[in-house]
Amino acid sequence: MDTLLFALNAILPIVLLILLGYFLKRIRLFSREFLSVGNKVCFRVFLPAFLFYNIYSLESLRQVNWIFIAYGAGAVLMLFLIGLACSAIFIKDPAKKGVLAQAVFRSNFAIIGVPLAMSLFGEAGAASASLLSAFTITEFNIFGVVSLSVFRGGEEKPSAKKVLLGIVKNPLIIGIVAAVCVLGIREIFIAANVSFRLSDIGFLAQTLEYVAKMATPFGLIVLGGEFEFSAVGRLWKEITFGTVMRILFAPALFLTVAYFFIPSLSGEHFASYIALFGTPVAVSSAIMAKEMDGDGELAGQLVVWTTVFSAFTLFAAISVFRALGVL
Protein backbone atom coordinates (compact mmCIF):
# COMPACT_ATOMS: atom_id res chain seq x y z
CA MET A 1 0.00 0.00 0.00
CA ASP A 2 2.86 2.40 0.82
CA THR A 3 4.35 1.74 -2.63
CA LEU A 4 1.04 2.46 -4.36
CA LEU A 5 0.55 5.66 -2.37
CA PHE A 6 4.07 6.75 -3.23
CA ALA A 7 3.50 6.17 -6.96
CA LEU A 8 0.17 7.99 -6.82
CA ASN A 9 1.73 10.93 -4.94
CA ALA A 10 4.32 11.21 -7.72
CA ILE A 11 1.77 11.08 -10.55
CA LEU A 12 -1.44 12.72 -9.23
CA PRO A 13 -0.08 16.29 -8.95
CA ILE A 14 0.75 16.14 -12.67
CA VAL A 15 -2.70 14.79 -13.53
CA LEU A 16 -4.39 17.47 -11.41
CA LEU A 17 -2.44 20.29 -13.09
CA ILE A 18 -3.48 18.96 -16.50
CA LEU A 19 -7.10 18.81 -15.31
CA LEU A 20 -6.81 22.39 -14.03
CA GLY A 21 -5.73 23.57 -17.48
CA TYR A 22 -8.59 21.65 -19.08
CA PHE A 23 -11.09 23.17 -16.61
CA LEU A 24 -9.81 26.71 -17.20
CA LYS A 25 -10.28 26.23 -20.92
CA ARG A 26 -13.79 24.84 -20.44
CA ILE A 27 -14.83 27.93 -18.46
CA ARG A 28 -13.25 30.03 -21.24
CA LEU A 29 -10.57 31.59 -19.10
CA PHE A 30 -8.02 30.30 -21.63
CA SER A 31 -8.28 31.30 -25.28
CA ARG A 32 -6.59 29.51 -28.18
CA GLU A 33 -4.31 32.50 -28.65
CA PHE A 34 -3.22 32.40 -25.01
CA LEU A 35 -2.48 28.66 -25.18
CA SER A 36 -0.50 29.08 -28.40
CA VAL A 37 1.64 31.88 -26.95
CA GLY A 38 1.97 30.02 -23.65
CA ASN A 39 3.30 26.98 -25.49
CA LYS A 40 5.94 29.12 -27.20
CA VAL A 41 7.01 30.83 -23.96
CA CYS A 42 7.36 27.50 -22.19
CA PHE A 43 9.41 25.99 -25.03
CA ARG A 44 11.67 28.99 -25.58
CA VAL A 45 12.13 30.33 -22.03
CA PHE A 46 10.91 28.17 -19.15
CA LEU A 47 12.12 24.73 -20.31
CA PRO A 48 15.64 25.90 -21.32
CA ALA A 49 15.96 27.58 -17.91
CA PHE A 50 14.71 24.39 -16.22
CA LEU A 51 17.31 22.24 -18.00
CA PHE A 52 20.10 24.74 -17.32
CA TYR A 53 19.22 24.91 -13.64
CA ASN A 54 18.99 21.12 -13.21
CA ILE A 55 22.35 20.43 -14.84
CA TYR A 56 24.15 23.28 -13.09
CA SER A 57 22.80 21.98 -9.77
CA LEU A 58 24.92 18.82 -10.08
CA GLU A 59 27.59 18.68 -7.41
CA SER A 60 30.43 17.36 -9.54
CA LEU A 61 31.20 15.30 -12.64
CA ARG A 62 34.44 13.92 -11.19
CA GLN A 63 33.17 10.69 -9.66
CA VAL A 64 31.25 8.95 -12.42
CA ASN A 65 30.27 5.27 -12.68
CA TRP A 66 30.72 5.01 -16.42
CA ILE A 67 29.12 1.55 -16.70
CA PHE A 68 25.96 2.95 -15.10
CA ILE A 69 26.01 6.02 -17.37
CA ALA A 70 26.88 4.08 -20.53
CA TYR A 71 24.07 1.57 -20.08
CA GLY A 72 21.46 4.28 -19.44
CA ALA A 73 22.62 6.41 -22.37
CA GLY A 74 22.97 3.36 -24.63
CA ALA A 75 19.46 2.17 -23.74
CA VAL A 76 18.00 5.57 -24.68
CA LEU A 77 19.84 5.35 -28.02
CA MET A 78 18.40 1.86 -28.61
CA LEU A 79 14.88 3.07 -27.76
CA PHE A 80 15.34 5.98 -30.16
CA LEU A 81 16.26 3.59 -32.99
CA ILE A 82 13.41 1.22 -32.09
CA GLY A 83 10.98 4.15 -32.03
CA LEU A 84 12.13 5.40 -35.43
CA ALA A 85 11.88 1.92 -36.97
CA CYS A 86 8.43 1.16 -35.54
CA SER A 87 7.07 4.56 -36.55
CA ALA A 88 8.46 4.29 -40.07
CA ILE A 89 6.99 0.80 -40.55
CA PHE A 90 3.60 1.01 -38.84
CA ILE A 91 2.53 4.68 -38.98
CA LYS A 92 1.41 6.36 -42.23
CA ASP A 93 0.97 10.02 -41.20
CA PRO A 94 4.42 11.76 -41.16
CA ALA A 95 3.25 14.21 -38.47
CA LYS A 96 2.49 11.29 -36.13
CA LYS A 97 5.69 9.34 -36.80
CA GLY A 98 8.06 11.68 -34.99
CA VAL A 99 5.65 12.07 -32.07
CA LEU A 100 5.36 8.31 -31.57
CA ALA A 101 9.11 7.85 -31.91
CA GLN A 102 9.53 10.37 -29.08
CA ALA A 103 7.02 8.49 -26.93
CA VAL A 104 9.18 5.36 -27.10
CA PHE A 105 12.44 6.90 -25.85
CA ARG A 106 11.57 10.17 -24.11
CA SER A 107 10.56 9.75 -20.48
CA ASN A 108 9.68 12.42 -17.91
CA PHE A 109 13.01 11.83 -16.18
CA ALA A 110 13.70 15.42 -15.22
CA ILE A 111 10.34 16.26 -13.64
CA ILE A 112 9.23 12.92 -12.16
CA GLY A 113 12.30 10.70 -12.43
CA VAL A 114 14.84 12.44 -10.21
CA PRO A 115 12.39 12.96 -7.29
CA LEU A 116 11.25 9.36 -7.74
CA ALA A 117 14.83 8.05 -7.51
CA MET A 118 15.34 10.11 -4.36
CA SER A 119 12.23 8.65 -2.75
CA LEU A 120 13.35 5.12 -3.65
CA PHE A 121 16.97 5.36 -2.52
CA GLY A 122 17.48 8.65 -0.68
CA GLU A 123 20.27 11.09 -1.47
CA ALA A 124 22.32 8.40 -3.23
CA GLY A 125 19.43 7.75 -5.60
CA ALA A 126 18.97 11.46 -6.28
CA ALA A 127 22.69 11.95 -6.94
CA SER A 128 22.84 9.02 -9.39
CA ALA A 129 19.67 10.14 -11.19
CA SER A 130 20.86 13.76 -11.45
CA LEU A 131 24.17 12.67 -12.94
CA LEU A 132 22.43 10.36 -15.40
CA SER A 133 20.01 13.15 -16.35
CA ALA A 134 22.85 15.33 -17.64
CA PHE A 135 23.48 12.73 -20.33
CA THR A 136 20.01 11.34 -21.03
CA ILE A 137 18.15 14.67 -21.10
CA THR A 138 20.68 15.85 -23.68
CA GLU A 139 19.91 12.71 -25.70
CA PHE A 140 16.16 13.23 -25.32
CA ASN A 141 16.32 16.68 -26.83
CA ILE A 142 18.77 15.89 -29.63
CA PHE A 143 16.87 12.74 -30.62
CA GLY A 144 13.58 14.64 -30.29
CA VAL A 145 14.73 17.25 -32.79
CA VAL A 146 16.01 14.53 -35.13
CA SER A 147 12.81 12.45 -35.03
CA LEU A 148 10.52 15.45 -35.53
CA SER A 149 12.74 16.81 -38.30
CA VAL A 150 13.06 13.53 -40.20
CA PHE A 151 9.29 12.97 -40.10
CA ARG A 152 8.26 16.60 -40.46
CA GLY A 153 4.53 16.64 -41.21
CA GLY A 154 3.83 16.60 -44.94
CA GLU A 155 7.00 18.40 -45.93
CA GLU A 156 9.84 17.17 -48.08
CA LYS A 157 12.46 15.27 -46.06
CA PRO A 158 14.96 17.77 -44.64
CA SER A 159 18.64 17.48 -45.44
CA ALA A 160 21.21 16.48 -42.84
CA LYS A 161 22.23 20.15 -42.73
CA LYS A 162 18.68 21.24 -41.81
CA VAL A 163 18.43 18.59 -39.11
CA LEU A 164 21.77 19.65 -37.65
CA LEU A 165 20.74 23.30 -37.80
CA GLY A 166 17.49 22.40 -36.02
CA ILE A 167 19.50 20.77 -33.23
CA VAL A 168 21.88 23.72 -32.87
CA LYS A 169 19.05 26.31 -32.83
CA ASN A 170 16.74 24.34 -30.53
CA PRO A 171 16.19 26.34 -27.29
CA LEU A 172 16.36 23.19 -25.14
CA ILE A 173 19.70 22.19 -26.62
CA ILE A 174 21.00 25.72 -26.11
CA GLY A 175 19.98 25.54 -22.44
CA ILE A 176 21.79 22.20 -22.00
CA VAL A 177 24.97 23.31 -23.78
CA ALA A 178 25.07 26.56 -21.80
CA ALA A 179 24.72 24.60 -18.55
CA VAL A 180 27.51 22.17 -19.48
CA CYS A 181 29.80 25.09 -20.39
CA VAL A 182 29.11 26.86 -17.09
CA LEU A 183 29.55 23.57 -15.23
CA GLY A 184 32.90 23.10 -16.95
CA ILE A 185 33.98 26.60 -15.90
CA ARG A 186 32.95 25.75 -12.33
CA GLU A 187 35.14 22.63 -12.43
CA ILE A 188 38.08 24.74 -13.65
CA PHE A 189 37.50 27.18 -10.79
CA ILE A 190 37.44 24.29 -8.31
CA ALA A 191 40.73 22.93 -9.68
CA ALA A 192 42.27 26.42 -9.46
CA ASN A 193 40.95 26.96 -5.90
CA VAL A 194 38.84 29.91 -7.05
CA SER A 195 35.89 30.34 -4.70
CA PHE A 196 33.59 32.25 -7.07
CA ARG A 197 30.45 30.45 -8.33
CA LEU A 198 27.45 31.49 -10.43
CA SER A 199 25.31 30.91 -7.35
CA ASP A 200 27.27 33.70 -5.60
CA ILE A 201 25.41 36.23 -7.77
CA GLY A 202 22.35 35.94 -5.53
CA PHE A 203 19.76 37.88 -7.55
CA LEU A 204 20.73 36.09 -10.80
CA ALA A 205 20.65 32.62 -9.24
CA GLN A 206 17.30 33.33 -7.57
CA THR A 207 15.76 34.63 -10.80
CA LEU A 208 16.98 31.56 -12.69
CA GLU A 209 15.49 29.30 -10.03
CA TYR A 210 12.11 31.09 -10.21
CA VAL A 211 11.96 30.81 -14.00
CA ALA A 212 13.07 27.15 -13.94
CA LYS A 213 10.38 26.24 -11.42
CA MET A 214 7.69 27.70 -13.68
CA ALA A 215 8.39 25.20 -16.47
CA THR A 216 6.62 22.17 -15.02
CA PRO A 217 3.37 23.66 -13.65
CA PHE A 218 2.93 26.13 -16.51
CA GLY A 219 3.67 23.50 -19.16
CA LEU A 220 1.20 21.05 -17.61
CA ILE A 221 -1.56 23.63 -17.30
CA VAL A 222 -1.13 24.71 -20.93
CA LEU A 223 -1.10 21.05 -21.97
CA GLY A 224 -4.39 20.54 -20.13
CA GLY A 225 -5.85 23.55 -21.89
CA GLU A 226 -5.01 22.01 -25.26
CA PHE A 227 -6.30 18.54 -24.34
CA GLU A 228 -9.42 17.22 -26.07
CA PHE A 229 -11.19 14.03 -24.94
CA SER A 230 -12.86 13.86 -28.33
CA ALA A 231 -9.48 13.03 -29.90
CA VAL A 232 -9.21 9.71 -28.05
CA GLY A 233 -11.62 7.94 -30.40
CA ARG A 234 -9.69 9.06 -33.49
CA LEU A 235 -6.24 8.37 -32.06
CA TRP A 236 -6.80 5.30 -29.90
CA LYS A 237 -4.46 3.07 -31.95
CA GLU A 238 -1.59 5.56 -31.76
CA ILE A 239 -2.27 6.28 -28.08
CA THR A 240 -2.27 2.55 -27.27
CA PHE A 241 0.95 1.97 -29.22
CA GLY A 242 2.80 4.88 -27.62
CA THR A 243 1.57 4.10 -24.11
CA VAL A 244 2.51 0.41 -24.29
CA MET A 245 5.97 1.16 -25.69
CA ARG A 246 6.73 3.88 -23.14
CA ILE A 247 5.53 2.42 -19.82
CA LEU A 248 5.56 -1.34 -20.51
CA PHE A 249 8.07 -2.26 -23.23
CA ALA A 250 10.91 0.13 -22.25
CA PRO A 251 11.06 -0.68 -18.50
CA ALA A 252 10.42 -4.42 -18.97
CA LEU A 253 13.25 -4.82 -21.47
CA PHE A 254 15.97 -2.59 -20.05
CA LEU A 255 15.38 -3.20 -16.34
CA THR A 256 15.50 -6.95 -16.97
CA VAL A 257 18.75 -6.70 -18.94
CA ALA A 258 20.31 -4.48 -16.26
CA TYR A 259 19.35 -6.88 -13.46
CA PHE A 260 20.63 -10.06 -15.11
CA PHE A 261 23.65 -8.83 -17.06
CA ILE A 262 25.20 -5.93 -15.09
CA PRO A 263 26.01 -7.31 -11.61
CA SER A 264 28.06 -4.26 -10.60
CA LEU A 265 24.96 -2.06 -10.31
CA SER A 266 23.63 -1.18 -6.85
CA GLY A 267 20.31 0.04 -5.42
CA GLU A 268 20.71 3.70 -6.31
CA HIS A 269 21.44 2.71 -9.92
CA PHE A 270 18.27 0.62 -10.19
CA ALA A 271 16.27 3.44 -8.60
CA SER A 272 17.59 5.71 -11.36
CA TYR A 273 16.80 3.19 -14.10
CA ILE A 274 13.24 2.68 -12.86
CA ALA A 275 12.87 6.47 -13.01
CA LEU A 276 14.48 6.67 -16.46
CA PHE A 277 12.62 3.84 -18.19
CA GLY A 278 9.34 3.71 -16.28
CA THR A 279 8.17 7.32 -16.11
CA PRO A 280 5.60 8.70 -18.61
CA VAL A 281 6.26 10.71 -21.75
CA ALA A 282 7.97 14.03 -21.06
CA VAL A 283 5.79 17.14 -21.05
CA SER A 284 8.36 18.92 -23.21
CA SER A 285 7.77 16.38 -26.00
CA ALA A 286 4.27 17.80 -26.56
CA ILE A 287 5.56 21.36 -26.49
CA MET A 288 8.36 20.53 -28.93
CA ALA A 289 6.03 18.60 -31.25
CA LYS A 290 3.71 21.56 -31.64
CA GLU A 291 6.60 23.94 -32.24
CA MET A 292 8.14 21.67 -34.89
CA ASP A 293 5.00 20.88 -36.94
CA GLY A 294 4.45 17.45 -35.42
CA ASP A 295 1.04 16.20 -34.32
CA GLY A 296 0.75 18.26 -31.12
CA GLU A 297 -2.67 16.83 -30.32
CA LEU A 298 -1.37 13.24 -30.30
CA ALA A 299 1.70 14.27 -28.32
CA GLY A 300 -0.50 15.84 -25.64
CA GLN A 301 -2.71 12.74 -25.48
CA LEU A 302 0.36 10.54 -24.98
CA VAL A 303 1.61 12.70 -22.10
CA VAL A 304 -1.77 12.48 -20.37
CA TRP A 305 -2.43 8.75 -20.80
CA THR A 306 1.09 7.54 -20.06
CA THR A 307 1.02 9.71 -16.93
CA VAL A 308 -2.25 8.17 -15.73
CA PHE A 309 -1.29 4.54 -16.37
CA SER A 310 2.32 4.88 -15.18
CA ALA A 311 1.05 5.11 -11.60
CA PHE A 312 0.24 1.40 -11.87
CA THR A 313 3.24 0.28 -13.93
CA LEU A 314 5.66 2.14 -11.63
CA PHE A 315 4.00 0.47 -8.66
CA ALA A 316 4.58 -2.93 -10.30
CA ALA A 317 8.24 -2.19 -11.11
CA ILE A 318 8.98 -0.85 -7.64
CA SER A 319 7.28 -3.85 -6.01
CA VAL A 320 9.27 -6.34 -8.11
CA PHE A 321 12.63 -4.78 -7.35
CA ARG A 322 11.83 -4.44 -3.67
CA ALA A 323 10.92 -8.13 -3.63
CA LEU A 324 14.26 -8.92 -5.30
CA GLY A 325 16.05 -7.02 -2.51
CA VAL A 326 17.55 -4.43 -4.84
CA LEU A 327 15.74 -1.38 -3.40
Residue 172 identity (one-letter amino acid): L
Q: What is the pLDDT of residues 284-296, one digit of tens each?
A: 888 888 878 788 8
Strand partners, 107: 281
Report the pLDDT value the prediction gives residue 61, as an integer from 0 to 100. 61
Contact 105, 302 (CB under 8 A): no
Query: Helix and strand tally (H, E) in the chain?
Result: 14, 0
Please tell me the predicted confidence (pLDDT) of residue 195.
78
Range of the domain at 285: 2-323
Rounded average pLDDT over 152-178 = 73
Give the residue, 92 or 207, on which the prediction is more confident.
207
Rounded to 5 degrees, what are φ and ψ at 281?
Answer: -60, 140
Q: How many domains does the chain have?
A: 1
Question: Which residues lie closer than 8 Å to 167 by C-beta, 6 or more apart?
Answer: 142, 145, 146, 173
pLDDT band at 60; cut points 50, 70, 90: low
Q: How confident is the model at residue 306 (pLDDT cuts 50, 70, 90)?
A: very high
Query: Which CATH number is 34's domain given?
Result: 1.20.1530.20
- The tens digit of pLDDT for each residue in 247-273 reads 999 999 999 999 999 988 988 999 999
CB neighbour list of residue 250: distance below 8 Å, 6 or more residues apart: 79, 104, 105, 107, 277, 278
